[in-house]
Amino acid sequence: MMKYAFLFPGQGSQYVGMGKDLKDNFKVAADVFETADDALSEKLSKLCFEGPKDDLDLTMNTQPAILAVSVAALRVLQQESGIVPVLVGGHSLGEFSALVASGVLKFADAMRIVRKRGTFMQEAVPVGIGCMAAILGMDKEAVEKICKESAQGQVVAPANYNCPGQVVISGHVEAVKRAAERAVTEGAKKTMLLPVSTPSHSALMEKAAERLEAVLDPIELGDMNIPVVSNVTADFYTSKNDVKSLLIKQMTHPVRWHEEMDRILQSGVESILELGPGKVLRGIMRRIGRSVPMRHIENSETLEVALADHKQ
């Protein structure tokens, strides 16, 4: 049997209409969205399918919405193919989808957790105080140095080490802009302020992390049936007992995605499937290594392509 890894996207992959094709064509996906709506006591599915975009883009909505679509894609794939991955992982928010896939988190629990996680992140830093920017074409050591020298008493630090030449920084608006401007003068190919108001994976998320700890504390965890790679350590969880502490650390620590993908590639996987809206992770992987084929699944068309590959 081919060795598969399943990966799940994070915030930024959302779009109005996501998941509707899966819901319309597969009962198992419709059941996922019904469970999601019940867990939050609201029609999150309607927001996924119909928008409006401004509401979908609110962090408190984006996070459970992407989780729901990712799990819907997962359940459809499981039903239609029976593929069992040898490992799973997810980018930031996507790690919750991976933990659902592994059996550690119940889906309904994960929905409620990420709704609160998104709310805590929104409330931790008032709009206009924090931001994030992508630095392209500069190695991580140079970006780290620039962040330290640009802080000037404020917060700015790497938030996502995505792939060679792509580091996302996060912190106070003024400090992030200083770092981005300096990066250009010191040789970065390009910098882009990202369309988010939440400075994720930075020290500004400490209050949100404290509040998330209280939410996670009473959650009952299941067995880790499939190995999960952690954003914080860029390695496999050693046991389910590490899950809560690492999800809390993830709020204030950078996502070590490049190292995480290297770890996955070294593990002997032969094919990678990105499950959920968009194909952001597939694009990043192309810059890390093309030795392992990768497909994404977000609707019946992409499912058909992935299953055709699987049957060959």
Tell whether pTM > 0.85: yes
Q: Which of 201, 253, 258, 296 is catalytic?
A: 201
Work out the number of other CB atoms within 10 angstroms of the CB of residue 189.
Answer: 11
pLDDT recorded at residue 1: 82
Phi, psi of 207, rounded to the nearest 5 degrees: -65, -40
Q: Which of 92, 102, 150, 200 is catalytic?
A: 92
| Same-domain status, 151 and 210 | no
**300 among known catalytic residues:** no
pLDDT recorded at residue 299: 98
| Same-domain status, 211 and 146 | no
| Same-domain status, 216 and 168 | no
Q: Which domain holds residue 134?
A: 130-197
| Same-domain status, 119 and 37 | yes
**Ordered per-residue pLDDT tens for the chain, 312 residues:** 899 999 999 998 999 999 999 999 999 999 999 999 999 999 999 999 999 999 999 999 999 999 999 999 999 999 999 999 999 999 999 999 999 999 999 999 999 999 999 999 999 999 889 999 999 999 999 999 999 999 999 999 999 999 999 999 999 999 999 999 999 999 999 999 998 879 999 999 999 999 999 999 999 999 999 999 999 999 999 999 999 999 999 999 999 999 999 999 999 999 999 999 999 999 999 999 878 999 999 999 999 999 998 887
| Same-domain status, 102 and 217 | yes
249 close to 284: Cβ distance less than 8 angstroms: no
| Same-domain status, 189 and 215 | no
pLDDT recorded at residue 310: 86
Instruction: Please state the domain count of the chain.
Output: 2
- Boundary (domain end) residue, out of 197, 220, 245: 197
70 close to 278: Cβ distance less than 8 angstroms: no
DSSP string, 50-92: H--HHHHTSHHHHHHHHHHHHHHHHHHHHHHH----SEEEEST
Q: Where are the alpha helices (DSSP H) in the chain?
A: 20-25, 27-40, 44-50, 53-56, 59-81, 94-102, 107-124, 140-150, 173-185, 206-216, 243-250, 257-266, 280-288, 300-311
Report the relative pairing of strands 4-8 and 271-275 from DSSP bridges: parallel
122 close to 198: Cβ distance less than 8 angstroms: yes
| Same-domain status, 59 and 92 | yes
| Same-domain status, 186 and 213 | no
**170 among known catalytic residues:** no
User: Which run of H or of E encompasses 130?
Assistant: strand 130-136
Return the CATH number at 16: 3.40.366.10
| Same-domain status, 144 and 48 | no
- Boundary (domain end) residue, out of 177, 197, 217: 197
- Boundary (domain end) residue, out of 143, 162, 197: 197
pLDDT recorded at residue 312: 73
Can you read off the two tokens belonging to residue 117?
């996680």
| Same-domain status, 213 and 120 | yes
Return the CATH number at 187: 3.30.70.250
| Same-domain status, 157 and 278 | no
| Same-domain status, 250 and 299 | yes
